[in-house]
Structure 1
Amino acid sequence: MLVAVLLPFIIAIFIPFLSKWKDKVHTGFFVTIVPVLVFIYFVRFLGTGFEPVIHEYSWIPSLDINMVFHLDGLSLLFVLLISGIGSLVAFYSIFYLHKSEQLGHFYVYFLIFMGSMLGVVLSDNVFALYSFWEFTSLSSFLLIGFWNYKKESRYGALKSMLITVFGGLSLLGALIFMSILTNTTSIQGMIDQQQLILNSEFFPLILILLLLGAFTKSAQFPFHIWLPDAMEAPTPVSAYLHSATMVKAGIYLVARYSPMLSANEWFFIIVSLAGIVTLCWGSYMAVRQIDLKGILAFSTISQLGMIMAMLGFGTKVAIFGAVFHILNHATFKGSLFMIAGIVDHEAGTRDIRKLGGLMTFMPMTATLAIIASFSMAGLPLPFLNGFYSKEMFFESSLHLEAASTGFAGFLQASIPYLAVFGSIFTFVYSMYFFFGTFRGKSHLEELPKKPHEAPIGMLISPIILVAGVIIIGLFPSLINEPFIAHAAESVKGAVLEEKHIYFWHGFIPPFIMSITVVVFGSILALSRKVWAPVYRFVPGVLSMNKVYDGTVDRMERYSKNITKGYMNGSLGRYVRLILAAIIVISFAFMAITGGFTIDTSNVAEITTPEILVAIMMVIAAVGTAITNNRIAAILILGVVGYGLSMLFVLYRAPDLALTQLIVETVTVALFLLVFYHLPKLRKKEEPVSTKILNLVISVGFGVLMTMVAISSHSSKFFDSISEYFVDNSYKLGGGDNIVNVILVDFRGLDTLFEIVVLGIAAMAIFGLIRLRKNKEEE
């Protein structure tokens, strides 16, 4: 399993080399092989007898951080979506992205994102999950901003990163709290100790932080604003990130932790309310858009809201419907994004005002679009998979578990009406997308180029996805027991008693709600131009984007003003600020933690030679600060270094004394060599207040270092590591000299990198010498 997760990262290393052959073979052909192999590896786990699989690999065992991969029904669903949709998107991109594009960059980002998503849904260790979680934010930032020469792409990439990384940091806080409370970093281990977390005084904070991470990633209201701007990414990115993978990461997180968190009433209130509001707002705003991908972006927001609401409901039907709709949404929404890309590719625009009548020119694309859009609308037709999960959504909204009176009771009573309202506009934007693009009057004179059918290579991927829509719609029971049932059971044991999923259940309330949606949705779709001016009032000039832009602008303005306040070019000011901050923070921390401890019981007696050497060093240090001659200052400063060497000798540390003597001698010699060529030292006259401030900071920093040295010796919060070195230097390192063994063996890696740094510096100096020599020869 580790190989399957790391395979995208490994192949990403070789993509820059493979992309050099893109004139002969499109890089996408090499990349497509990766998700196909991952899909083949995991699809073999499908079946009625599937049991969770756990693989553990050592990472940082001392911190209880290991790479633990847990494959159950829920993670298997997401893995197959990530690899399956990834295979189709990679193949689709071959025909969408021209060879003149920076294909090497695109596919490296693509593979990093794929591997990160696999890590998110498979990791059982919370810190491994968080690492992969942030990798998805970073790689999606690079994918969204792929066309970085466009201002809109840069804006959308930055917005998505700021919002999702903010949520990621919130998630990290929740994970740290839970790991401390349960004394484990395993997700399954935390779920097994759910009562410990539910009864904790920190539970409200844990719930808010975790849901912030999920809501920001899955574009829940009011954090949905990043998703429409992310549509500036190439269409393959939109089809992958924003229909099947990245935006589903938050859904996965809530589903994974719902067995633990759903026992609390506030989980129902927050998750259900956020989901249902997101459904209504996203579907309502989708009809306002004029860009095809903009319509699909807000439709994705609404569909994610519906899934999130069902997870909040928490009943068996709701959980099963949520899991089922995750699959259904990936099929019809992935195909619709690809269709929008085909229209843009072949007609030259995504502006729906310029489109219309394209069915005549693009019959195959139009056929795919009508099936996918009608499935998204939830039309009650037996070959549309979207209808089944929409029915479960309606049914679950009518049969919520009894809530208490108050706001939870009011929310429970309101949910069915809000579900119908959001679904009506879902029907409207689905019809708006299809009929506004493929039916009606054509506007060929307004199109950048004459539309025509896409090449078959570009159609293969949406054909496969639409075929999935039809197959799941006709035979939903085939995927129930071997696939969907396992995913639902992994969430809350939400396995339906019925083994078969039926299309017709009679004239029951959910079906009546579906008919109501179709009737009122048809009326609104046909009269859209009549009621469209309502958007001038709701939302009118109000926009969450304005809140975001205003917040970012103010932060940038305030930070610039603060920076200008201290970054004035004065090195003296920089040093004073740094040292003052160190003094204040360090003294405050020592005072809070009781660090001011002086214990002389274990201190050797101070002899006369040591006192004399110390006095000599103090006089030399003061003399260095007050002298007006550079050469004299260097020589006097050397006295401090040689005095330290004498102290090492007195304390029987000949190795350190020798090292100090060599370094001090070389340093003084180099300083003398360089400073000899500098002009005469002229000290800048400073005001008395500055001199007093310098004196206070100097004395304060000296006192701080003295107190740190004394307190560190007097305070023993931890056992000394010196005994370990004494006991093991010969046994493990094979040497009698403890200092040498520490440097070469125990800190061998540190020493290696120090040597590397010195080697790099030596090469840089050598390069400068060669450069100067070449110039002199010229």
Structure 2
Amino acid sequence: MFFAILAPFLAACVVPFLFRYIRTVHTGWLVLPVPGLLFIYFLMQIKDISTGNNMHTFISWIPSLGMNLSFYLDGLSLLFTLLISGIGSLVVLYSIYYLNKNEQLHNFYVFLMIFMGAMLGVVLSDNVFVLYLFWEFTSLSSFLLIGYWYHRERSRYGAFKSMIITVFGGLAMLGGLILLSVITDTTSIREMIESKELVLNSPYFTGILLLILLGAFTKSAQFPFHIWLPDAMEAPTPVSAFLHSATMVKAGIYLCARLFLLFGGTDQFFLLVSGFGLLTLCWGSYMAVRQTDLKAILAFSTISQLGMIMAMLGYGTEVAIFAAVFHIFNHATFKGSLFMIAGIVDHETGTRDIRKLGGLMTLMPISATLALFGTFSMAGFPLPIFNGFLSKEMFFESSLQLKDASPFVEQLSAVIPILAVLGSIFTFVYSMYFFFHTFTGKSKNTLEVKPHEAPIGMLVAPIVLVTFIVVIGLLPNLINEPILAPATAAVFGSVPHEHIVFWHGTIKPPLIMSFIVVAIGTLLYLTRNRWNGIYRFLPGSLSANKAYDAIYEGNLRLSRKTTDAYMTGSLRHYVLYILLFLVASTGITLVATDGFAFSTDNLAPISWPEILVGIVMAIAAFATIFMQNRIAAILVLGIVGYGLSLLFVFFRAPDLALTQLIVETVTVALFLLCFYHLPKLDTKKQSVSTKTVNILISASVGIVVTLVAIASHSSKRFETIAHYFIKESHHLGGGDNIVNVILVDMRGLDTMFEITVLGLAALGIYAMIRLRKGEEID
């Protein structure tokens, strides 16, 4: 399982070489086996997972921090891995025909493989911090994919917007995960769920829930964080199809489902998840109707569909969880196919503007047929050939089964079905709007390119997805026991007893709700031109995008003003700021930790030679203040360094003395070399205020450093590690010189890299000197 996650990252490392040396074929053909083989691998695990034989892989990584590569494959993670690898394979196949070979394909497939690997890591991780690591990898890789056409301003804007919002949510989620790990004393998600009572009884429960849901809501585009998703449509269509159907936007859904056993059943979870889910459903579907770009319509439709799934997870009943899992699968099929169809329309007509489209059914009959199945499934049209209707009807059913919940939930149970129907009505309207305005009616004759059917290679991927729409619509129980039931059991905690059928033998309230949606939705669609003026009032001038832009621009202006305030070009100012921060931070720390203790215990005796050397060093340091020449100041300051070497000799540390001698000699020589070429010191008299500030700063630094030196000896907040080195230096390092053993053995890597840095610096200095002399460097 670990290698299944690692495979896309390894492929990302190989892709640039494939692109460079194998130009005879499209790079996508060389990448396609990776998701294809992963899909086959996860398909092979269905039998074991469906029988309860979950898989677990553990690799120790940073055990001291509780960070281990712990991966767990159960029904829920299997569902997501099948979607990620399966639709990922179709997306790669689709991109081969969609993207021109002249594009920077190596960048595209590197980003896509990282994205796929990150998503697999998210859904398979059992360690919360490893999950967070992959979580942020998805934000970074999606940023790169959305901004793939970086020469376009809108692509850059959409990429930054998605990353800022999702990373903000990710950081909030990290805070919640840290609190969870502290309360439960574990970093394993499964062990946290077993410690549910500790979490529920914690005074930090509500805060933890809010922080984690911030991460889930921002990633899955829940209101009001939905604003990044429509701008993400600036990515190439294969990316949009992958991102919207199976990957990034489903990460928040996955997180809520995975932690349902920990938070589910509480009033807070219901209010937040179902409340924001229903609000997102209604708002996303309502706003989709006003869009004119095909991908924008689908982007807002994704927002509404994600809201519906969130709402069902918040309900917390068995039928609701099963319906949510079922709709995750169904949404992936029809949304992936519809984005690919939108890309085909754009590719073959040169536009995605629905106002310029129409009458494409006669020119693109296959694409139109595929779009018909996708849109009517998304609309939940009551026919058995549309899988979307089955999960939509279960959504209505679950909305009606909340009367027996907690008293708080029961008070809201009457309004929930109304909101479910309202959101579904607008879902039906934008679905009809998407299909009929694009493929029926008369051609506008405003297209720059004469439309024609897409090549068969571009049609294969949406055909496969539409086939799933029809097959699952007709035979839904094909995936019930092997996929849906184990996934629901992983979320809900017990195997569901749901049998999916189109007709229950009688007309039940969910079916009546579906008929209401179709009837009112059809009426609203047919009269759309008469009522779409409502958008001038709602949202009108109100816009979450405007709020985001205002906050973003405000932060930029504040950053510029702040930067301009301290970036004055004055070296004196920069040193002043650094020293002020040093004094303030260190002083506050001393006060907070009571670091003003003064102890004379265990002090070595001081002899007259040491006192004399100390006096000479103090006089030399004080004399530098009065020097009028840089060279003289450096030479006098060198006395301090060489005096320190003598003190090391007196204290029986010859190796430190030798090191100090070498460092001081090199430092003085380099300073002399550099300062020789600088202009002479400005000997103009400074103002009284400048001198006063200089005196105060220098005195403060001296006092604070002195206090730190005293506190380092007097305040023993932790047990000294010196005894460990004394005891183990001979045993572990084979030497009796403790300092040498520490440097060479116990801190060998530190020393090696320090030497490497010094070597590189020496080479750089040598190169600069040779270049200055005009010599040719060998």
TM-score range, shorter chain: over 0.9
1:81 counterpart residue number: 83
Tell whether the 8 Å contact from 1:310 to 1:318 is kept in structure 2 after alignment.
yes
2:741 counterpart residue number: 741
1:612 counterpart residue number: 612
| Structure-1 separation of matches of 2:6 and 2:776 | 51
Which residue of 269, 275, 278 maps to 1:276?
A: 278
User: Could you tell me how far 1:616 is from its partner in structure 2?
Assistant: 1.5
Tell whether the 8 Å contact from 1:317 to 1:494 is kept in structure 2 after alignment.
no
| Structure-2 separation of matches of 1:635 and 1:766 | 23
2:373 counterpart residue number: 371
| Structure-1 separation of matches of 2:640 and 2:65 | 42
1:195 counterpart residue number: 197
Question: How do 1:246-257 and structure 2 match up within 5 A?
Answer: 246-257=248-259
User: Could you tell me how far 1:471 is from its partner in structure 2?
Assistant: 1.1
User: Could you tell me how far 1:201 is from its partner in structure 2?
Assistant: 1.0
- The letter for the 2-side match of 1:167 is G
SS in structure 2 at match of 1:332 = helix
User: Could you tell me how far 1:404 is from its partner in structure 2?
Assistant: 5.3
2:237 counterpart residue number: 235
User: Could you tell me how far 1:405 is from its partner in structure 2?
Assistant: 5.4
Tell whether the 8 Å contact from 2:282 to 2:304 is kept in structure 1 after alignment.
yes
1:290 counterpart residue number: 292
The 1:632/1:469 distance shift into structure 2, 3 A limit, reads same
TM-score, length basis structure 2: 0.97
Tell whether the 8 Å contact from 2:132 to 2:174 is kept in structure 1 after alignment.
yes
| Structure-2 separation of matches of 1:127 and 1:97 | 36
User: Could you tell me how far 1:611 is from its partner in structure 2?
Assistant: 2.4
CA displacement, residues 202-254 of structure 1 (integer Å, 9 cap, x when unaligned): 11110110000000000000000000000000000000012211000000011
User: Could you tell me how far 1:507 is from its partner in structure 2?
Assistant: 0.6
SS in structure 1 at match of 2:61 = strand
Question: How do 1:565-576 and structure 2 match up within 5 A?
Answer: 565-576=565-576
User: Could you tell me how far 1:541 is from its partner in structure 2?
Assistant: 1.1
Which residue of 216, 219, 223 maps to 1:217?
A: 219
User: Could you tell me how far 1:554 is from its partner in structure 2?
Assistant: 0.7
User: Could you tell me how far 1:678 is from its partner in structure 2?
Assistant: 4.1
1:134 counterpart residue number: 136
1:441 counterpart residue number: 442
TM-score, length basis structure 1: 0.97
SS in structure 2 at match of 1:694 = helix
| Structure-2 separation of matches of 1:369 and 1:267 | 37
Moved more, 531-540 or 134-143: 531-540
Question: How do 1:318-333 and structure 2 match up within 5 A?
Answer: 318-333=320-335
Tell whether the 8 Å contact from 2:364 to 2:453 is kept in structure 1 after alignment.
yes
Moved more, 734-743 or 302-311: 734-743
The 1:678/1:294 distance shift into structure 2, 3 A limit, reads closer
| Structure-2 separation of matches of 1:272 and 1:379 | 24
| Structure-2 separation of matches of 1:685 and 1:504 | 97
User: Could you tell me how far 1:263 is from its partner in structure 2?
Assistant: 3.3
SS in structure 1 at match of 2:424 = helix
| Structure-1 separation of matches of 2:22 and 2:549 | 40
- The letter for the 1-side match of 2:656 is L
- Alignment RMSD, CA only? 1.6
CA displacement, residues 313-351 of structure 1 (integer Å, 9 cap, x when unaligned): 000000000011000000000000000000000011000
CA displacement, residues 132-169 of structure 1 (integer Å, 9 cap, x when unaligned): 00010000000000000000000000000000000000
SS in structure 2 at match of 1:134 = helix
SS in structure 1 at match of 2:46 = coil
The 1:228/1:747 distance shift into structure 2, 3 A limit, reads same
User: Could you tell me how far 1:76 is from its partner in structure 2?
Assistant: 0.6
Structure 2: segments with no counterpart, 5+ residues: none
2:59 counterpart residue number: 57
| Structure-2 separation of matches of 1:582 and 1:466 | 64
Moved more, 316-325 or 47-56: 47-56
User: Could you tell me how far 1:762 is from its partner in structure 2?
Assistant: 3.4
CA displacement, residues 659-689 of structure 1 (integer Å, 9 cap, x when unaligned): 1112222322333344344443324543222
2:419 counterpart residue number: 418
SS in structure 2 at match of 1:197 = helix
Which residue of 378, 384, 387 maps to 2:389?
A: 387
Tell whether the 8 Å contact from 2:60 to 2:68 is kept in structure 1 after alignment.
yes
User: Could you tell me how far 1:572 is from its partner in structure 2?
Assistant: 0.7
| Structure-2 separation of matches of 1:675 and 1:580 | 26
1:335 counterpart residue number: 337
Moved more, 653-662 or 312-321: 653-662
| Structure-2 separation of matches of 1:685 and 1:73 | 79
| Structure-2 separation of matches of 1:256 and 1:293 | 30
| Structure-1 separation of matches of 2:227 and 2:494 | 32
The 1:676/1:295 distance shift into structure 2, 3 A limit, reads closer
1:587 counterpart residue number: 587
Q: How many residues align?
A: 775
User: Could you tell me how far 1:573 is from its partner in structure 2?
Assistant: 0.8
1:123 counterpart residue number: 125
SS in structure 1 at match of 2:150 = coil
1:668 aligns with 2:671: no
- The letter for the 1-side match of 2:523 is I
| Structure-1 separation of matches of 2:684 and 2:440 | 80
User: Could you tell me how far 1:402 is from its partner in structure 2?
Assistant: 3.7
- The letter for the 1-side match of 2:634 is I
- The letter for the 1-side match of 2:272 is I
Moved more, 37-46 or 683-692: 683-692
Tell whether the 8 Å contact from 1:177 to 1:206 is kept in structure 2 after alignment.
yes
- The letter for the 2-side match of 1:724 is Y
CA displacement, residues 506-528 of structure 1 (integer Å, 9 cap, x when unaligned): 21000100010011111111111
| Structure-2 separation of matches of 1:347 and 1:494 | 50
2:538 counterpart residue number: 538
| Structure-2 separation of matches of 1:281 and 1:629 | 72
CA displacement, residues 546-601 of structure 1 (integer Å, 9 cap, x when unaligned): 00000011111111111111111111111111111121122112212323322222
